[in-house]
Structure 1
Amino acid sequence: MDEIEIGVLVAVGPDGIGDGALEAAAAEAVRLGLGIELLHVVHSLVPVVPERLDADRQVERALTTVGRAALADAEERLRVVVEDRVPVRTQIVFGPVPRTIVEHGNRARSILLEVRDAGPVERLVTRSISSAVAAHAEVPVLVVPPSWTVRVADDLPVTVGLEAAADAAEEIPPALDLARATGRPLVVLHAAWLAEPYQAVAFTSYPRQQWLEDVRQELRTALAELATDVDVTLDVRWARPVEGLVKATQRSSVLVLSRRRAKHPLAAHLGPITRGVLHHAECPVLVVDRAH
């Protein structure tokens, strides 16, 4: 295999990958000046049994044929987009799909996956793969929704979702770097919510609007310390976090969310909010480690 430095590893499923995901991969790879690897992982559910070795190999050859066809189609369309500006290669391997994508993707600068616009069962499978990869990868993971294209993102900002104002110093810098690198403004979004019974208790002596304004001030202070040269807008709203973040994806070029690094290597790093957003976002979602 050609020895090239991979900027973006793109996971290609058996039914292929859309133009929008390939456009996003090309844009990032060209920005980095690095190559793209199109990876197809064949997950054979057939156990290797000596008495059935010939039959198993026939199944593997058939599955590989499907994968190679998907890769060939994706490579042909991707090369039209990159126009020889960065190298492109393909690879097909066997193994558990999420774990294999992570193992190969950790050698690149980032991983890109697409949530396919398919039936409910297939959507559940592809989203489960996306969530697993985003949770365990050591590099940023970009999850692209179906039917999305780079053209839709023209003039739209980078949006970063904050879990809490106190986390601003860790969660804003990766999004700030992306906004600066792509020449886009940045929206810092924090959506807060309490169930109705809690609100009656929490805001008895501390009005909700005052609480929101205090959060805005805390974020202004954090942004001032980051000394940014990017146009930044604060969006602090009273909304259920998943709903607020998903709504923001309707007017963002990309939504940046942070994952926590768990102490146990096999533990999931994505919370329910991030998983929920990945399932319903209308623009690409970039899952990154927090800054340290």
Structure 2
Amino acid sequence: MTGPVVVGLDGSPASVTAAWWAAREAADRRLPLLLLHSWTTQPLNVPVPQEALSKQRYGGQVLQRMEAELLHRHPDLTVTTELVSEPAAQALLDLGQTASLMVLGSRGHGSVAGFLLGSISLHVLGLARCPTVVVRTGDPTVPEGWQPPAEIRGDIVVGMQHNGPTIAPLLEFALTAAQLHGTRVLAVRALPVSSLVTHPHALTEPGDEAWQAEEHGRLAAELAPWREKFPDVELVPRVTRGAAAQVLLSASAHSRLTVVGRRRHPSHLAWKLGPVAHAALHHMPCPVAVVPHD
């Protein structure tokens, strides 16, 4: 896609971290960056009077300051700004119709690695038509200003719950990002503990090993066409027994990005994030991409 990378910017530390991550991603993908601020949806701690003119002035200053800082670091980046009166969630969803990628910020849980998502972020994540990445405030891998990243994480991890066409958008997104950043992709599938009872070869320890080897081979076969499509990217299958959310969290402990899926919904009045996506969004230490699929 050639649409812009869109980031919701409200002036909070979380949104600033998201803007820096989005700028680097847009520069690497050679895409324009669009900074959006809704002056009717501002943080509660904004130190300005509640009059509309003051809120618009504050929003304009937030956009101008961020644009200048990003262009100082990425002079070749095309940056545009939009100051809108629509509620933030609706404005983001409208832009998401043609965006290549959307980026949101999230407050952390303090000393506990994780995200704190508000209603706006959850609404956008549940309905966006494009992949949406959530970045935790203060993520040490995000170079803000002229500060280099404090650490470099490795793999891009993608959750492979099911086979079939639903996995195609997730793998396409993960492999494209890996090719861009020169890293490998770890494709993770969890084997539920309950299937130990029903699988004919999983009742003994050797049988358990054979069962996992069989499932590993099945996953490797599913990934074979993608290896041909992305020959320069190392694509590693991993099959682990356990709850899907916990398996994915363990695999992503040192990843640079985790990719999960979410079904598209026909109505803007009804949406739902699955339990694995919810767990990833609230507990991953790294940015999380939610990719919609049919």
2:89 counterpart SS class: helix
Q: Secondary structure at the match of 2:51?
A: helix
Aligned to 2:46: none
Structure 1 pair 71–118 and aligned structure 2 pair: CA distance change class (3 A): farther
Q: Structure 1 residue 163 and structure 2 residue 161: aligned?
A: yes
SS in 1 for 2:107: coil
Structure 2 residue corresponding to 1:154, chosen from 152, 155, 167: 152
Match of 2:40 in 1: 43
Decide which moves more: 152-161 or 134-143: 152-161
Equivalent position of 2:25 in the other structure: 28
Q: How does 1:109-258 map to 2 (within 5 A)?
A: 109-117=100-108, 124=116, 126-148=117-139, 149-150=141-142, 151=149, 154=152, 156-165=154-163, 168-169=167-168, 171-194=170-193, 198=194, 201-202=197-198, 206-207=202-203, 208-226=208-226, 227=228, 228-229=230-231, 230-258=233-261
Native 8 Å contact 1:165 1:190 kept in 2: no
Shift of 1:28: 1.7
Residues 60-115 of structure 1 deviation map (CA, whole Å, 9 limit, x = unaligned):
22322332333233223222221x21121222212222222111233322111110
Instruction: Note the residue ranges of structure 2 that are not aligned, 5 or more in a row.
Output: 43-48, 143-148
For 2:225 and 2:3, locate their aligned partners in 1 and report how far apart those are by CA, in whole Å.
Answer: 34
Measure, in 2, the Cα distance between the counterparts of 1:127 and 1:235: 33
Identity %, equivalent residues: 26
Deviation for aligned residue 1:233: 1.6
Secondary structure (helix, strand or coil) at the match of 2:4 reads strand
Which whole-Å CA distance do the structure 2 matches of 1:153 and 1:107 have between them?
33
- Check whether the contact 2:156–2:255 (CA below 8 A) recurs between aligned residues: yes
| Shift in CA distance, 234/146, structure 1 to aligned 2, threshold 3 Å | same
Name stretches of at least 5 consecutive residues in structure 1 with no aligned partner.
46-56
TM-score between the two structures when normalised by the length of structure 2: 0.78
Question: For this pair of structures, how many residues does the alignment match?
Answer: 268
Letter of the 1:59 partner, please give it.
Answer: E
Q: State the TM-score, normalizing by the size of structure 1.
A: 0.79
Cα distance, 1:153–1:143 mapped onto 2, change above 3 Å: farther
CA shift, 1:216, in A, is 0.8
Q: Please report how far the alpha carbon of residue 176 of structure 1 lies from its aligned counterpart in structure 2 after TM superposition.
A: 1.8
Counterpart of 2:95 in structure 1 is: 104
Name the stretch that deviates more: 133-142 or 58-67: 58-67
Shift of 1:8: 1.0
